């Protein structure tokens, strides 16, 4: 899942981005409010982590403009402005959660995962497709209760498919969720990861869980 991290403190932004990528998320970063507003106007994200005290445009204004455009993307405000007035104002403007700095990374990751589960309509802790399981809390895959090892990009593709199990997912949608804007990749890269995932699924499931190509539509994770 692709998320936007809006944080102007360079070291904190890098540290947070790495932690979120280690949790199998695709992260794009914006260092000021104007850049964040421009990205949110043209790109789709599963979640926004938003600081408030930003150069060029305050975080609350970024949030206002998002909601005025009709965006329902979940927003987690992460800021040093932790007073009651700021918290109430942020939530009233449409933020879904609010955390004050300093914060514990473990708690932030838990809140991010909870927001992502709710936004995808997956309140269940574990998603399954046959014997393939995805734990939405630990964000780990397993097959028949055994660990299922994946690279970060393979993980992102398979997560996008299992969260929409029973539905076809277009190549364009997979690309948007797997790659950040600054990644050097093209649309055909998705075919490489689909090929690798098929081989891994075949090895553990003997073909009982497979990724089917629907020409002109996309890819479907299904039980055969």
Q: What is the average pLDDT value for the chain, to the nearest integer?
A: 87
List Cβ neighbours of 196 (8 Å cut-off, separation of 6 or more).
151, 154
Q: What is d(CA 18, CA 131) in angstroms, rounded to the nearest whole number? A: 31
> Following DSSP, what letter does each residue of 137-164 receive, concatenated?
TTTEEEETTEE----HHHHHHHHHHHTT
Q: What is d(CA 59, CA 38) in angstroms, rounded to the nearest whole number? A: 13
**What's the confidence (pLDDT) of residue 12?**
92
**What's the confidence (pLDDT) of residue 67?**
92
**Pairing relation of β-strands 2-6 and 47-50?**
parallel
List of domains in the chain: 2-119 (3.40.50.2300), 126-223 (1.10.10.10)
Q: What is d(CA 128, CA 38) in angstroms, rounded to the nearest whole number? A: 37
What residue ranges of the chain have pLDDT lower than 70? 120-124, 180-183
Q: What is d(CA 151, CA 56) in angstroms, rounded to the nearest whole number? A: 37
> For residue 142, how many other CB atoms are within 10 A of its CB?
17
Q: Name the 3-class secondary structure at 90.
A: helix
């Amino acid at each position: 899942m692709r998320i936007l991290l809006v944080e102007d403190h360079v070291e904190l932004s890098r540290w947070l981005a790495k932690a979120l990528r280690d949790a199998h998320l695709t992260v794009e970063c914006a260092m000021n409010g104007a850049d964040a507003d421009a990205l949110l106007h043209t790109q789709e994200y599963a979640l926004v982590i938003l600081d408030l005290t930003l150069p060029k445009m305050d975080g609350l204004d970024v949030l206002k403009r998002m909601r005025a455009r009709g965006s329902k993307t979940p927003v987690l405000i992460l800021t040093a402005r932790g007073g009651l007035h700021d918290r109430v104002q942020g939530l009233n403007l449409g933020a879904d959660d609010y955390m004050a700095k300093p914060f514990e990374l473990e708690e932030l990751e838990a809140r991010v995962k909870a927001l992502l589960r709710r936004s995808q309509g997956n309140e269940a802790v574990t998603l399954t497709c046959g014997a393939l399981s995805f734990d939405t809390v630990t964000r780990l895959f397993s097959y028949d209760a055994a660990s299922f090892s994946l690279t970060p990009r393979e993980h992102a593709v398979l997560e996008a498919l299992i969260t929409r199990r029973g539905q076809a997912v277009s190549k364009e949608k997979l690309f948007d969720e797997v790659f950040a804007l600054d990644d050097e990749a093209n649309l055909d890269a998705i075919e490489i990861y689909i090929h690798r995932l098929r081989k891994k699924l075949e090895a553990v499931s003997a073909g009982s869980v497979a990724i089917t190509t629907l020409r002109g539509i996309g890819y479907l994770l299904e039980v055969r």
